[in-house]
Chains A and B, each alone.
Chain A
Amino acid sequence: MAELIPFRWPAEWKDVSKLDLLRGTPINCLAGETAPPFTSADFPFVKLDPEHPPKGVTLREGVWPRVAPATKKEGAPAGPTGDAWVDSNAWVVRLAHLMEPGTTVWLTEQAPGGNEVTSMDSFVKPIAEAEAFGAHWVIALDRIFREELEQSSEAAVRSWRRMMSTLKFFAGRRDWRSWEPVAALAIVSSFEGDGKLMSEEFLNLAPRRHLAYRAIRLADGPATSFEGMKAVLYLEPEPPQGEMRTKLFDFARGGGLVIAPKGTVTGSAVERKAEHGLWPVGNGRVAMPLGGWDDPFLLVAQVHLLLGHRDDVVRVWNAGSTDTYFVASKTDRKALVHLIPYADGSTQPITLGFREPYRSARIIRLDAEKVVKSSKGPLGMEIPVGEVADYAAVLLEL
């Protein structure tokens, strides 16, 4: 059975002939809270009920992906130290895949609505964002888009075609979904209980700093290899116990850095760094906070400094509010960096840097691709990506 690609059927559309819009596109099912007043063998209806999600699907509410706009006269919302706030679903999808493996995530956010006008061009972004992380956005048109499409306005038709070609773009590259995150940092957490907010926000905020991570469920921790990791963040309110503790200390003894809550080790720290004390363990170290872990934004910054930018798996320049998601194939020597800009318009010309000596780089955009020549920088190779609007990927080969 083909994978379901959902479209939220507008309640205003009563006429079955409207289905013609979807024919020849990757969309193959209708979705919503209530079924349309007709049935179609070509486009089965799937009810969006979080309590009873469709088989093989995990539903998540999501947010409209963008840099959060001003809601007050004084200015736009910002991060704790002034960076623009980004509404992103990256962490929502990655966490859903972790917690409910084997399912496909459907994001059900809709355009902001109210008195806010959403540009029809911006409907590509929620598709590209969801697909880059291996999810689907339940495509939903707002009133203006729907009415313009009904009138076959040039702008609406053009935007709709771009949306459909974006779906086709990712449908033709499904193998990317099985590629695994490239990171020097592993995050072990239950992502539940008292530490839920902190651990979720860590996943949300780490991409703002291009801090690549691999998330591991606490229950899976003892059996999961930390090979290739430089640091493991044990993101729980209480110190690790039992098998998990043994595993973490083995990792530290082997030269790794374990960042864990207060109480994990006793005695005096031999060094202080990024508001953490450091204790030597074998060839490695354990870091514990001098105070507490209260602020996820600060914790992300501190963890990044404890790990050090020398171990950044990808370096990024001129990206503004763009997320990078670095994944690698398990079967061959290919890797890929997804670039998902959240601001409107194009970025400045982006440069990516890598320590690994990739022998080729291909910039893949939604409508074109090209091979680019890398240059040697002081810290490895650098790749000129160019300006990015909506989405781009950099395919690398060792």
Chain B
Amino acid sequence: MRGEISSRLWNRRELLAGGAIGLFGAAATAAPSAKVAVARCAAYDAGVLAALRTMFDQIGGIGPLAAGKTVAVKINMSGPVRARTGYRPAWYTHWSHPAVIGAAVHLIGEAGASRIRIVESSSYDDHPLEENFLLGGWEPDDLLKAARNVEMENTSFLGKGKRYSQLKVPGGGLIYPAFDVNHSYVDCDVLVSIAKLKEHCNTGVSLSLKNMVGAAPGAVYGDAAGYDAPALRPFGALTMFHTGSRQPPEGTPAEKDPNSPREYGHRVPRITVDIVRSRPIDLAIIDGIETQTAMETAAEQPAKGPVRMVRPGILVAGRNPVCTDAVAMAIMGFDPMADRGAAPFETSDSTLRLAEEAGIGSRDTRTIEVAGVTIREARFPFRA
């Protein structure tokens, strides 16, 4: 049996592999829905704290979530730390802005968190994360002093840990059954994903779900990873995720099916879902105050369309990352129910659909209660 999906031919084995979670729209289990807050915020100033405070109240408060807990805050600092889109610092184009991170950290601290660790994996170095803030052009002390007991860790390698921690995907996963990660993702009681409101040249959008791909350590899954063991230091892209070019180092869980499609648009959305299922996101925050259209990293990847620096002037937050991403997508002018072939998923499967089918959350905005500004009011079409 051969079937044609999108622009490539798939053989029976691939179809069976893809169909395991309903590639053809098999009945999905009812995915939960949770309230999402949307706020207007014109600039990275004191207004961010006020807006986030209101939004957290609107989604039920974060006190019960954070009080007495160790909270990991996964930010987005993807790509080379010295890269900018033109002259615009990456905080304004494709990274989570420190004003948003700082406000979130402050409120999490205020809610009683016992420890807050800001985490991100750098693909290109084993620097302390503080040093990468400096390289990006920001003073890390601003964030380290935003609450009590705040620390940072570059999770692209062992970091301050002695060994990698393993996160198993419940039910076995779509691509990987488990991941070896920096200790920070296991040490934490609560995981917050702070993403940028942005498109992605290969996965359509990169929001709170996709942000978690950056939890994977480059020393294990990056181009510099050894075959016998993880590299001591990360370097290079996560090509084994992107194209399935090879398996992880010996001792790290391998793919379930090395004969599954080697295509980026098939693999990365599924790996994203696997990662999020292995370590669920407890709070999703999307920074859409300033961003750019068209692609994630201007210096590195070809654009699907013109790159524009834009100011949607919005923040989105919710307890369920799929619901939060769906609302964000709708604000960007995309249909969160869209699938491969329709914008923005011209070349990939929809991470949101796969996440919904995996039971993480609903992407149907008709079932998602939106607090604050409505989607219609906040709408900022990225491809207008």
A-B contact pairs, 13 of them (CB 8 A): A81-B233, A82-B235, A308-B134, A316-B82, A318-B83, A348-B83, A348-B84, A348-B86, A348-B299, A349-B84, A351-B87, A377-B137, A379-B138
| B22 interface residue (CB < 8 Å to A) | no
| A384–B134 CA distance with the chains assembled, in angstroms | 18
List 5 additional A-B contacts (Cβ < 8 Å) besides A317-B82, A379-B139, A384-B87: A81-B235, A308-B131, A308-B134, A315-B137, A348-B299
- Are A318 and B84 touching (Cβ within 8 A)? yes
- CA of A165 to CA of B63 in the docked complex: distance in angstroms? 68
Indicate which residue in A81, A319, A348, A379 contacts B134 across the interface (CB closer than 8 Å).
A379
Residues from chain A with a CB closer than 8 A to the CB of B137 are 315, 317, 353, 377-379, 382
**A312 interface hit (Cβ, 8 Å):** yes
Chain B residues near A318 (CB, 8 Å)? 82-84, 299
Give which listed residue, B138, B223, B224, B235, contacts A378 with CB less than 8 A.
Answer: B138
**Which one, A82, A317, A379, A384, contacts B83 given CB within 8 A?**
A317
A305 vs B127: C-alpha distance when bound (angstroms): 7
Q: How far is the CA of A253 from the CA of B135 in the complex (A)?
A: 29
How far in angstroms is the closest Cβ of chain A from B299? 6
Within 371-390 of A, Cβ neighbours of B (below 8 Å) are at: 377-379, 382, 384
Contact between A351 and B84 (Cβ–Cβ < 8 Å)? yes
CB distance from A74 to the nearest CB of B (A): 13
Considering the complex, give the chain B residue whose CB is closest to the CB of A378: B138
- Residue A143 is within 8 A (CB to CB) of chain B in the complex: no
Query: Is B89 engaged at the interface, CB distance under 8 Å to the other chain?
Result: yes
CB distance from A343 to the nearest CB of B (A): 13
Inter-chain contacts of B84 with A (CB < 8 A): 317-318, 348-349, 351
Nearest chain A residue, comparing its CB with the CB of B83: A318
Residues of B close to A382: CB separation below 8 A: 87, 137
Q: A174: CB under 8 A from chain B?
A: no
User: In angstroms, how far is the closest chain A Cβ from the Cβ of B173?
Assistant: 29
Q: Which A residues are CB-close (under 8 A) to B224?
A: 81-82
Number of A positions contacting B (CB below 8 A): 22
- Counting chain B CB atoms within 10 Å of each CB, which of A316, A318, A319, A379 scores highest? A318
Please tell me if A309 contacts chain B, counting CB pairs below 8 Å.
yes
A349 to B142, CA, bound (A): 28
Q: Using Cβ atoms and an 8 Å threshold, which residues of chain B touch A312?
A: 134
The chain B residue sitting closest to A310, CB to CB, is B134
**Beta-carbon nearest neighbor of A79 in chain B:** B235
Chain A residues with CB below 8 A from B125, complex form: 301
Q: Which of A71-110 contact B (CB under 8 A)?
A: 81-82
Q: Which residues of B lie under 8 Å from residue A378 when comparing CB positions?
A: 98, 137-139, 142
Q: Which residues of A contact B236 (CB under 8 A)?
A: 82
Distance from B226 Cβ to chain A, minimum over Cβ atoms (Å)? 13
Query: How far, in Å, is B293 (CB) from chain A's closest CB?
Result: 18
Chain A nearest CB from B43 CB (Å) reads: 15
Q: How many A-B residue pairs have CB under 8 A?
A: 55
- Tier of interface size on chain B: 20 to 34
Q: Mark B77-90, 1 if CB is under 8 A from A, else 0.
A: 00000111011010
The interface centre, meaning the residue of A301, A378, A382 with most chain B CB atoms within 10 A of its CB, is A378
A40 to chain B, nearest CB (A): 49
B131 touches A309 (CB 8 A): yes
A 292-328 to B, binary, CB cutoff 8 A, 1 in contact else 0: 0000000001000100111010011111000000000
B135 touches A309 (CB 8 A): yes
Closest B residue, CB atoms, query A319 = B82
Q: A310 CA to B224 CA in the complex, in Å? A: 28
Question: Does B128 sit within 8 A of A, measured CB to CB?
Answer: yes
By CB atoms of chain B within 10 A, which of A308, A317, A318, A348 has the most?
A: A317
The 5 closest A-B pairs by CB, nearest first: A309-B134, A81-B235, A82-B235, A384-B87, A317-B84
Q: Considering the complex, give the chain B residue whose CB is closest to the CB of A210.
A: B82
Name the A residues within 8 Å of B299 (CB-CB). Answer: 318, 348
> 0/1 per residue, A227-254, Cβ < 8 Å to B?
0000000000000000000000000000
The residue in chain A whose Cβ has the minimal distance to the Cβ of B136 is: A317
Q: Which of B228-244 contact A (CB under 8 A)?
A: 233, 235-236
Closest Cβ of chain B to A118, distance in Å, is 27
Q: What mask results when residues 127 to 161 of chain B are scored 1 for a CB within 8 Å of chain A, else 0?
A: 11001001101110010000000000000000000
Contacts of A316 in B (CB 8 A): 82
Q: Is the CB–CB distance between B139 and A305 below 8 Å?
A: no
- The distance in angstroms between the C-alpha atoms of A81 and B218, with both chains bound, is 12
Nearest-CB distance from A370 to chain B (Å)? 15
Chain A residues lying within 8 Å of B98, measured Cβ to Cβ, are: 378
CB of A208 to closest CB in B, whole Å? 11
Q: How far is the CB of B141 from chain A (nearest CB, A)?
A: 9
Chain B residues with Cβ below 8 Å from A349 are 84, 86-87
A318 CA / B131 CA spacing, docked (Å): 18
A82 touches B134 (CB 8 A): no
Chain B 193-224 per-residue mask, 1 if CB under 8 angstroms from chain A, else 0: 00000000000000000000000000000011
Contacts of A353 on B, CB cut-off 8 Å?
137
Which chain A residue lies CB-closest to B236?
A82
Name A298's closest neighbour in chain B (CB-CB).
B233
How far is A384 from B86 in the complex, measured between Cα atoms in Å?
9
Complex Cα gap A351–B88 (Å) = 9
Contacts of A328-348 to chain B: CB distance below 8 A:
348
- Whose C-beta in chain B lies nearest to the C-beta of A312? B134
CA distance A319 to B81 in the complex (A): 12
Closest chain A CB from B302 CB (angstroms): 14
Contact of B131 among A305, A351, A377, A379 (CB under 8 A): A305
The complex places the Cα of A18 from the Cα of B177 at a distance, in Å, of: 73
Q: Which chain B residues numbered 40 to 86 have a C-beta less than 8 Å away from chain A?
A: 82-84, 86
Query: Smallest distance from the beta carbon of B355 to chain A beta carbons, Å?
Result: 32
B133 to chain A: closest residue by CB: A309
Which residue of chain B is the closest to A81 with respect to CB atoms? B235
Considering the complex, give the chain B residue whose CB is closest to the CB of A301.
Answer: B125
* Chain B residue with the shortest CB-CB distance to A348: B299
For the complex, what is the distance from the CA of A305 to the CA of B233, rounded to whole Å?
14
A319 CB contacts on chain B under 8 angstroms:
82
Q: How far is the CB of A162 from chain B (nearest CB, A)?
A: 27
Give min CB distance, A152 to chain B, whole Å.
Answer: 40
B130 CB to nearest A CB, Å: 9
Residue of A nearest to B233 (CB): A81
Chain A residue, CB-CB nearest to B127: A305
Give B299's nearest chain A residue, CB to CB. A348
Q: Which residues of A contact B233 (CB under 8 A)?
A: 81
CB distance from B300 to the nearest CB of A (A): 10
Given contacts A305-B131, A379-B134, is CB(A82)–CB(B223) below 8 Å? Answer: yes
A78 to B223, CA, bound (A): 13
Q: A188 to chain B: closest CB distance in Å?
A: 25
